[in-house]
Amino acid sequence: MDIRYPRADSAPSYAEFSRDYLLPNKPVIIGPSLISSWAAVRRWASEDGSINWDYMKTTYGSCEVTVADCSTRDFSDQKRNQMLFRDVVSLWQAGQGQSLYVKDWHLARALVTAGENGLNTAPFYTTPDIFRDDWMNAYYSACTDDDFRFVYVGAAGTFTPLHRDVYTSYSWSTNICGRKRWWLFPPEQTRLLFRRGGEEHLETAYDVRNVDPATYPLFSQAKPIVVEQGPGETIFVPSGWYHQVENLTACISINHNWCNSVNLPSLYDSMCAKVTEVEHALEDVKKLLSETAASQATDVAPSESQRSWEDEWIAIVQDVVEKDAGWNWVTFWRMVRHALALAMDRLHQANETLWPRTPRELMPPLFFIKERIRDCRGKFMQRPQREVALVPTLDVVLADIHQLLEATN
């Protein structure tokens, strides 16, 4: 397969981005014009294009950050610790800590919280219009203490291992300073990336630069797209594309994971696959619950006994799913309800400071959004696991979604 990573020198309109990249699920790198107004471009970079470490250290040094040690593998990830940002920068300035990579730094949210406490925390960027239709960050910003907006800062040679973003979400990543190399694998190559056996719940290769052919016998057939991303450039990673990223120089970037109605079917399928994976891994637990309930059936009505152990089983599965991937069915459907209510201009919880409402012209037509949601909801209602009946509050959330879908506007 010979796939070229397309580039757009000028920022596309939402209609162009949706037509050419979002709907066909194709990647693109967009030139610096997309982010030319960002304060980070002016403040985080020195005149020679390098990172302005003094500014970063002075302005954000007191922030506690998650630091991955790229020289130490921890299962499918890297060993992580918490440090003050100024301490990490001091190591780099002293020529040390070259394997350290600041990851998943929720700086934008942290600054809003600091601003609420009276500190001077001017925003350092705004989400480009083409990425504004973002259900994940709209919901998480309004309804939780978390989000999927990150800053990454790393020395040359630091990297993120091969992975696919949570539940096949999209991602976009902008280099403020420095250069990255990306290895990207289209979804049709996913089956080639896994440990012998091929099932998707098994381990993927960790580092595409060093893959054991005996352990990953199909990997040699994979043909990744390898692309370099320069300063000021923004990369759009489509839904379901596995990727690995290496910093070719000291690099600082702003990243979002996101989703919307366009890739909702992929997210739903990925959720189903995750639940199945967890169910298989916990088969012994299910058997134990069932056998225990059967042995106690003489003390309670059979239907009550069956429902009791099934309730417990579903709760265990959903708890493990959430711990493993950050979401479960309750989170998923609450996010969908939140997005649909906003798209229909119904009163609903929102945080305009953390995530301003998305204008209607920056999302697909309402009938498209409803069709996507209606299809996924219909499939979910027919699942043999019967989560809608067994998971607390899900029936209410799904009923709310049904009412919104049936409304005329």
Q: Which domain CATH number covers 68? A: 2.60.120.10
Same domain, 275 and 334: yes
Query: pLDDT, tens digit, for every residue of 391-405?
Result: 999 999 999 999 999
Same domain, 398 and 270: yes
Q: What pLDDT was estimated at residue 2?
A: 42
- Domain that includes residue 368, residue range: 264-406
Q: What pLDDT was estimated at residue 306?
A: 59
pTM, 2 dp: 0.94
Find, among 164, 146, 173, the residue nearest to 230 by Cα.
Answer: 173
Query: pLDDT, tens digit, for every residue of 301-345?
Result: 555 555 689 999 999 999 999 998 889 999 999 999 999 999 999
Domain boundary among 203, 237, 258: 258
Same domain, 194 and 313: no
Domain boundary among 258, 290, 310: 258
Q: Is residue 2 part of a domain?
A: no
**Cβ contacts of 119 within 8 Å, gap of 6 or more:** none
CA separation for the pair 82, 64 (Å, rounded): 7
pLDDT above 60: residue 383: yes
- 228 within 8 A of 181, measured Cβ to Cβ: yes
Q: Give the pair of three-digit tokens for residue 88.
A: 């990490």
pLDDT above 70: residue 38: yes
234-237 and 170-177 strand pairing: antiparallel
pLDDT above 80: residue 349: no
Segment 204-229 mean pLDDT: 96
How many domains are contained in the chain? Answer: 2
CA separation for the pair 81, 313 (Å, rounded): 34
- 241 within 8 A of 183, measured Cβ to Cβ: no
Lookup result for tokens 């089956």: 191
- 133 within 8 A of 260, measured Cβ to Cβ: yes
Q: Which residue has the higher pLDDT, 406 or 302?
A: 406
Mean pLDDT of the chain: 93
Model confidence at 1, pLDDT cuts 50, 70, 90, reads very low
Total residue count of the chain as it appears in this document: 409
Q: Is residue 1 part of a domain?
A: no
